[in-house]
């Protein structure tokens, strides 16, 4: 059975988050208006800053582009 977008994104995001000392909180893929959005929620002790978001986003983007599920 093919994996849905959320499941695949979670599998990709979780090890990246762990490697960066982050916790993967949620993955949501939903339609808003005419567009779909993939949102990944991360956290860590002390809170997440913009640098955490940038590091995670760059690493995640590189990996998800390999599978291109969206």
Tokens of 13: 């995001």
**Structure confidence at residue 56 (pLDDT):** 98
The pTM (predicted TM-score) of the whole model is 0.85
How many C-beta neighbours within 10 Å does residue 28 have? 11
Q: What is the pLDDT of residues 31-55, one digit of tens each?
A: 999 999 999 999 999 999 999 999 9
Structure tokens at 20: 């960066």
Residue 25's Cβ-side half-sphere holds a number of Cα atoms within 13 Å equal to 10
Tell me what pLDDT residue 3 has. Answer: 67
CA distances from 54 to 28, 42, 67 (A): 18, 12, 21
Q: Report whether pLDDT(2) > 80.
A: no
Mean of per-residue pLDDT scores for the chain: 91
Enumerate the β-bridge partners of residue 31.
36
């Amino acid at each position: 059975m093919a994996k849905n977008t959320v499941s695949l994104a979670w599998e990709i995001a979780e090890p990246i988050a762990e490697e960066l000392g982050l916790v993967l909180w949620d993955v949501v893929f939903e339609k808003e208006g005419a567009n779909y959005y993939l949102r990944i929620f991360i956290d860590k002790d002390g809170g997440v800053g913009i640098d955490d978001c940038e590091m995670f986003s760059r690493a995640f983007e590189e990996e998800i582009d390999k599978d291109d599920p969206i």
